[in-house]
C-alpha cells in the first residue's frame, strides 16, 4: 500500500513538471514518464489530478487549470511566483459580518488566507485571482453573502508591496 507521503511526493513531482512550461504534449509527457521508475504511481497521481480538475488535457495538450495553479503554488515556490506575477486586475473582498457570526467570520478569514488573499484590514482582503467556487460555496452555505462585497480593481495604491507579498 502506498503511503500518503509518497502520494504527496508524486503530486509535487507532477507540479514541478508543469510549472516549468505552459503545457505538455501527450507524447512528451509519456516519454518523461517512461524513464521514471515510479511511472505507475505518477500516472495514477496524474489521473487523480485530472479527475479533481487540477490538470486538463485538450487536443493532446496537458496543462494546469487555475485550480491546479492554486494547488501548485502551495507546494512549489516557482508556481507561486508565476501565479502571483504583477497582476493587471485585483480582486477585493470586503465584509462586515456581525459579532453574532464570530466563528463564521474567523473561518471565513482562514478560508481567504488559504485561497491566497491578503488582508489590507481585518475585513478587507485582496488577491490576484477570482474567488474560487469553493470559497463562494462557503460564503453561501454559511449565509455570509449579504455581508460580503467583491470588487474587481485595476489600479491600487501600494500595489508593489502587495505583489512582493505574493511572490515570497
Which tens digit of pLDDT belongs to each residue from 102-135?
Answer: 999 999 999 888 877 889 999 999 987 777 788 8
Residues of the domain holding 31: 4-82
Global model pTM greater than 0.85: no
77 and 99 co-located in one domain: no
Provide the pLDDT for residue 69.
77
CATH of residue 8's domain is 1.10.10.10
Residues facing 56 on adjacent strands:
63
Q: Dihedral, CA atoms, 38, 51, 60, 75, nearest 10 degrees?
A: -60
Q: Dihedral, CA atoms, 72, 76, 77, 79, nearest 10 degrees?
A: -40
16 and 74 co-located in one domain: yes
**Residue at which a domain ends, from 19, 48, 82:** 82
How many domains is the chain partitioned into structurally? 2
Instruction: List, for the chain, all residue ranges whose pLDDT scores fall below the cut of 70.
Output: 1-4, 22, 77-88, 166-168
10 and 77 co-located in one domain: yes
Amino acid at each position: 500500500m502506498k503511503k500518503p507521503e509518497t502520494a504527496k511526493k508524486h503530486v509535487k513531482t507532477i507540479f514541478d513538471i508543469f510549472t516549468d512550461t505552459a503545457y505538455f504534449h501527450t507524447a512528451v509527457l509519456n516519454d518523461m514518464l517512461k524513464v521514471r521508475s515510479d511511472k505507475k504511481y505518477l500516472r495514477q497521481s496524474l489521473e487523480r489530478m485530472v479527475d479533481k480538475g487540477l490538470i486538463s488535457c485538450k487536443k493532446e495538450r496537458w496543462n494546469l487549470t487555475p485550480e491546479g495553479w492554486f494547488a501548485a503554488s502551495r507546494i512549489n515556490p516557482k508556481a507561486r511566483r508565476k501565479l502571483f506575477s504583477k497582476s493587471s486586475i485585483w480582486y477585493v473582498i470586503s465584509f462586515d459580518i456581525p459579532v453574532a457570526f464570530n466563528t463564521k467570520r474567523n473561518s471565513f478569514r482562514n478560508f481567504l488566507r488559504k485561497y491566497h488573499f491578503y488582508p489590507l484590514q481585518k475585513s478587507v482582503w485582496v488577491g490576484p485571482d477570482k474567488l474560487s467556487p469553493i470559497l463562494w460555496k462557503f460564503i453561501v452555505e454559511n449565509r455570509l453573502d449579504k455581508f460580503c462585497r467583491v470588487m474587481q480593481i485595476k489600479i491600487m495604491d501600494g500595489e508593489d508591496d502587495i505583489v512582493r507579498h505574493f511572490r515570497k
